[in-house]
Chains A and B, each alone.
Chain A
Amino acid sequence: MTTSTTARTAEAIELTGIGKRFPGVVANHDVDITIHTGTIHALVGENGAGKSTLMKILYGVQRPDDGTIRVDGQDVSLSTPADAIARGIGMVFQHFMLADNLTVLENITLGAEKLHGIGDDARTEILAISRRYGFGLDPDELVESLGVGERQRVEILKVLYRGARIIILDEPTAVLVPQEVDALFANLRELKDQGHTLIFISHKLDEVLAVADDITVMRRGTTVASVKPGDVTARQLAELMVGSELPSPSTEESTVTDRVLLEVEGLELRDAAGRPELTDIGFEIHAGEILGIAGVEGNGQAELVETLIGMRQPVAGTVRLGERDISGWSTRERRAAGIGYIPEDRQRHGLLLDAPLWENRILGHQTRPPAVKAGGWLDVGGARTDSERIVGQYDVRTPGIDTTARALSGGNQQKFIVGREMSGDPILLMASHPTRGVDVGAQAQIWDHIKQARRQGLAVLLISADLDELIGLSDTIRVLLRGRLVGTFDPQHVTPSELGSAMTGADSGADSGSGDDA
């Protein structure tokens, strides 16, 4: 604390006129940012706005073409991460850079063995840092056994161990559940109080407003505004990011019919050790209805969706799609019967990242036209034509359908999946966190597509951690808590805080539901 009074007045980092060009793309131009020592500085912008490139420049991974970087008032040239580390800059990558089969200690000391060795001295030092900031890490545990939040703390500790005072966090909350986000923010504030400077990249605006001292907005490669969190609302910030008026997720007039399309009764699921994961799940979705499932992550949402699509076998219960009992059906039969599925983790379950888009179009439709002809032969022409249709109709921004899925941004990957899952005339669409990790522009488009599905008379099961999204899109909201459906809410009348308390089980009267009197 002794240094903080003098430090607060100084500028930790000044970036002036930074520009970076890749062949055919201008990633950054005329970027000006000033970051004060001992503050949390948020950098917000859509995917592709140039935030990550800028941070890679600051961490020495990329070299800028123009502009100057000043760290603690001195002009510096950072050509490798080692230079940045030497200047006290550390970076926590969005995708963790950890070796699962090594211990916390080994991961942290790796590459910095000269500081305290790899033995007891290092262990003492790690424990000391862990205690100072309340990280609660055991140096001898394997990283494999750690949760996402703990892994992130290992990453931060790794940076602190190397003596960093300026810490860049690239979308640190993208992978965290709400409680972990709170814990992270507590850690960040603690770090700030001890005089560290934090740069926080995000596009979750509520979080940015909650934790940042200063906010810089980036759009199309350059900085467009610097604001204080007290002066703006999340909506204004989002408009700065997109550069135009934003659509909201809210639905139009109800299209709910009385025709039941999905009927689930008494569904029970157990894990390998026989512990219940889902208990007595029962609900109906009508044609033209969006049923939203709220809940803190890990309360059975993923299990519910995987059971409905047939990836996991329940021990009891029936599932009816339209008139048919599909309880014993395989995943392929269920999909062919008209279930579209937008998986939670699009990179692991939704796409073959290294395959071109038109091959990805065939996934999940491998027995059906237009991608496959009778007799099981691929219809390459049909698949390509239909991929072109999806790219056009769903505004997937890609150079072409021969581009690999990996090359697309998250939002465009997701739009392609939505388009694919809406092909083949589904009657039920299951969307698991459809806009997670997607920028604001793509988010609005995906909302539009879900609303359109509802207008076309599909039944939609929407699972999301974004309460505004749930409230805005759903016709009915059910809350999942410890594998049980505990409450029914009418989104017209419920507030996020009411939902929040039902999700944590704090609301004892959740079962009565607030929507009954609507």
Chain B
Amino acid sequence: MSTAVTAPPPVEAPAERRSRGLRFGLYLAGGFVVLCLVRVITGADELTSSGTLAVTLTATMPIAMAGLGGLWSERAGVVNIGLEGMMIMGTLGAGYFGFHYGVIAGIVGAVLLGVAGAGLHALATVVFGIDHIVSGVAINIIALGVSGFLAEAWFSDLEGGGPTQSPPLPTPFEINIDAISGPANTLEGKHWFLISDLASVVEMFTKNLSSLVVFALALFFVTQWVLWRTRFGLRLRSCGEAPAAAESLGINVYRYKIIAVLISGGLAGLGGALLSMVSSSGFQVGQTNNRGYIGLAAMIFGNWRPSGLFMGSALFGYTQALPFRQGTVSVHALLLLVALLLVAIGVVQLLRKRRVQAIGAFAFGVLFLLWYLVTDIVPRDFTTMAPYITTLLVLALASQRLRMPAADGQVYRKGSAG
């Protein structure tokens, strides 16, 4: 271990980059085992029940789509804080087109309205060179107003609809494999360490699994492949790292930036569709509830990489889902999990000789442990807030070496090369 500590990591070697997928898997598996352990210790079976995991998945995916949108845009050098607004446009599109023309039209409509919002952002930031944050915030405000106005105009007179919500929408096709989910359910009921927990995971993927969620999951692999394995992706990333260099090599920087922002908006719109067609039964004003921003945070936590961004989204999704599953007991069990996590982070930070972070992690870890030990349940009012606090703590104290695209957020003017 000592060699790993003394050698300051200027840059990881190619071998280490290749093992990134492996490391991601290890983190995920390790976290899951700890979760199972906590479940066994605390007896809070909802921690890994298939119901909780299913809610987690539906809570995760909209955030993950927003984050993935942010990834596309920021990899091309455009900060997209307008994701929230594009997501709102997506929920509205799903509501209108989904109700009138069916599931597929709803999804396409959501994506297209997201793209429309992104078009505004691309025009403002790339073509006119307006500050990315200003444009993004403006889009969020506009989208909020437009969605409120159009919802009233479109849905007020419909049966089951109202000025702030659409009638119930058709749901995308759901995957059910009873042959697997049945036995898995039985196994889950035994509450065996790890085995029952894994059964919950199997059940989550075989019972009432929305095809739209599967599609969204697939987009992660598509993104990874396109951005890092194709010429298009290389050019797009070069615009986020060194646009002047890209232009000096004959690459049309504006074009790639605009495409990236449009894709970003499409993904955020898809996130909106997930919200109104999968996570709930229809469109509602204010449905996104700042998930666009949370997606952006998950992306930063994930170091501008699909795998890390997915982990960050899952963390947010899980802590959002838990309060709804016997919240007072589950969130109380979560305290122990957080305490363990913080201590683990503390050890890692200590090994990396980051004393301040280590002390902070230990201190909060002990605090959470005490809290867990001296109480039996968490007050109901606190259950919905606790996830955000714990997530914030984990994100803050696990601080890693974040590396954002070098030209991210900078306005690029054509002709800056040479």
| Contact of B238 with A93 in the complex, beta carbons under 8 Å | no
Tell me which residues from 364 to 418 in chain B have a Cβ below 8 Å from any Cβ of chain A.
403, 405-406, 417-418
| Contact of A101 with B405 in the complex, beta carbons under 8 Å | yes
Q: Chain A's nearest CB lies how many Å from the CB of B411?
A: 13
| Contact of B238 with A102 in the complex, beta carbons under 8 Å | yes
Q: Chain A residues with Cβ under 8 A from B11's Cβ?
A: 141-142, 144-145
| Contact of B14 with A273 in the complex, beta carbons under 8 Å | no
Q: Which of B64-72, B97-105, B244-252, B309-317 is near enough to bind chain A?
A: B244-252
| Contact of B246 with A110 in the complex, beta carbons under 8 Å | yes
Q: Chain B residues with Cβ under 8 A from A106's Cβ?
A: 234, 237-238
B7's nearest neighbour on chain A, judged by CB, is: A273
A478, B238: Cα distance in complex, Å? 45
Which residue, of A59, A98, A111, A272, has the highest number of chain B Cβ atoms within 10 A?
A111
| Contact of B14 with A99 in the complex, beta carbons under 8 Å | no
Check: B160 CB closer than 8 A to any chain A CB: no
Would A272 and B8 be within 8 Å (CB), given that A99-B238, A100-B242 are in contact?
yes
User: Interface code B229-263, partner A: CB below 8 Å = 1, 0 otherwise?
Assistant: 01100110110011011101111000000000000
A275's nearest neighbour on chain B, judged by CB, is: B6
Q: Name the contact of A93 in the complex, choosing from B230, B248, B403, B405 (C-beta under 8 A).
A: B248
Q: Chain B's nearest CB lies how many Å from the CB of A486?
A: 27
A interface: dominant SS: loop
| Contact of A113 with B231 in the complex, beta carbons under 8 Å | yes
Q: Chain A residues with Cβ under 8 A from B6's Cβ?
A: 273
Which residue, of B235, B242, B246, has the highest number of chain A Cβ atoms within 10 A?
B242
Question: Interface size (A, Cβ < 8 Å)?
Answer: 34
| Contact of A97 with B417 in the complex, beta carbons under 8 Å | yes
| Contact of B10 with A98 in the complex, beta carbons under 8 Å | no
B404's nearest neighbour on chain A, judged by CB, is: A101
B15's nearest neighbour on chain A, judged by CB, is: A140
B230's nearest neighbour on chain A, judged by CB, is: A118
Check: A177 CB closer than 8 A to any chain B CB: no
A145, B14: Cα distance in complex, Å? 12
| Contact of A100 with B250 in the complex, beta carbons under 8 Å | no
Would A100 and B244 be within 8 Å (CB), given that A111-B251, A118-B231 are in contact?
no
Tell me which residues from 100 to 153 in chain A have a Cβ below 8 Å from any Cβ of chain B.
100-103, 106-107, 109-113, 117-118, 140-142, 144-145
Q: Chain A residues with Cβ under 8 A from B250's Cβ?
A: 80-82, 85, 111
Check: A7 CB closer than 8 A to any chain B CB: no
| Contact of B238 with A61 in the complex, beta carbons under 8 Å | no
Check: A56 CB closer than 8 A to any chain B CB: yes
Would A99 and B242 be within 8 Å (CB), given that A61-B417, A81-B250 are in contact?
yes
Q: Chain B's nearest CB lies how many Å from the CB of A114?
A: 8
| Contact of B14 with A140 in the complex, beta carbons under 8 Å | yes
| Contact of A111 with B14 in the complex, beta carbons under 8 Å | no
Q: Chain B's nearest CB lies how many Å from the CB of A273?
A: 6
Q: Chain B's nearest CB lies how many Å from the CB of A394?
A: 30
A118, B233: Cα distance in complex, Å? 11
Q: Chain A's nearest CB lies how many Å from the CB of B258?
A: 18
A56, B250: Cα distance in complex, Å? 15
Q: Name the contact of B244 in the complex, choosing from A80, A97, A118 (C-beta under 8 A).
A: A97
Q: Chain A's nearest CB lies how many Å from the CB of B286?
A: 38
B418's nearest neighbour on chain A, judged by CB, is: A61
Q: Chain A's nearest CB lies how many Å from the CB of B205?
A: 33
Q: Chain B residues with Cβ under 8 A from A144's Cβ?
A: 10-11
A95's nearest neighbour on chain B, judged by CB, is: B244
A269, B11: Cα distance in complex, Å? 25
B246's nearest neighbour on chain A, judged by CB, is: A110
B18's nearest neighbour on chain A, judged by CB, is: A140
Q: Chain A residues with Cβ under 8 A from B235's Cβ?
A: 110-111, 113
Tell me which residues from 70 to 115 in chain B have a Cβ below 8 Å from any Cβ of chain A.
none
| Contact of B237 with A102 in the complex, beta carbons under 8 Å | yes
Q: Chain A residues with Cβ under 8 A from B234's Cβ?
A: 102, 106, 109-110, 113, 118
A56, B230: Cα distance in complex, Å? 31
Q: Chain A's nearest CB lies how many Å from the CB of B418?
A: 5
A109's nearest neighbour on chain B, judged by CB, is: B234
A96, B249: Cα distance in complex, Å? 12
| Contact of B241 with A99 in the complex, beta carbons under 8 Å | yes
User: Interface code A56-99, partner B: CB below 8 Å = 1, 0 otherwise?
Assistant: 10010100000000000000000011100100000101001111
Would A111 and B246 be within 8 Å (CB), given that A99-B406, A142-B11, A273-B8 are in contact?
yes
Q: Chain B residues with Cβ under 8 A from A158's Cβ?
A: 249
Q: Name the contact of A97 in the complex, choosing from B230, B231, B242 (C-beta under 8 A).
A: B242
Which residue, of B6, B250, B406, has the highest number of chain A Cβ atoms within 10 A?
B250
A145's nearest neighbour on chain B, judged by CB, is: B11
Would A112 and B406 be within 8 Å (CB), given that A118-B231, A272-B8 are in contact?
no
Q: Chain B residues with Cβ under 8 A from A117's Cβ?
A: 231
Q: Chain A residues with Cβ under 8 A from B238's Cβ?
A: 99, 102, 106, 110
A142, B16: Cα distance in complex, Å? 12
A101, B404: Cα distance in complex, Å? 9
Q: Chain B residues with Cβ under 8 A from A82's Cβ?
A: 250
Q: Chain A residues with Cβ under 8 A from B241's Cβ?
A: 99-102
Would A56 and B405 be within 8 Å (CB), given that A111-B235, A272-B8 are in contact?
no
Q: Name the contact of B249 in the complex, choosing from A56, A101, A110, A141 (C-beta under 8 A).
A: A110
User: Interface code B40-77, partner A: CB below 8 Å = 1, 0 otherwise?
Assistant: 00000000000000000000000000000000000000
A61, B248: Cα distance in complex, Å? 9
Q: Chain A residues with Cβ under 8 A from B251's Cβ?
A: 110-111
A98, B403: Cα distance in complex, Å? 17
Q: Which A residues contact B (CB, under 8 angstroms)?
A: 56, 59, 61, 80-82, 85, 91, 93, 96-103, 106-107, 109-113, 117-118, 140-142, 144-145, 158, 272-273
Q: Which B residues contact A (CB, under 8 angstroms)?
A: 6, 8, 10-11, 14, 230-231, 234-235, 237-238, 241-242, 244-246, 248-251, 403, 405-406, 417-418
Interchain residue pairs A-B with the least CB separation, the first 5: A111-B249, A99-B241, A97-B245, A99-B242, A113-B231
Q: Would you mind naming 20 contact pairs between A and B with Cβ atoms under 8 Å apart?
A: A56-B418, A59-B418, A81-B248, A81-B250, A81-B417, A93-B418, A97-B242, A97-B244, A98-B245, A101-B403, A101-B405, A102-B238, A102-B242, A103-B14, A106-B237, A109-B234, A112-B249, A117-B231, A140-B14, A144-B10
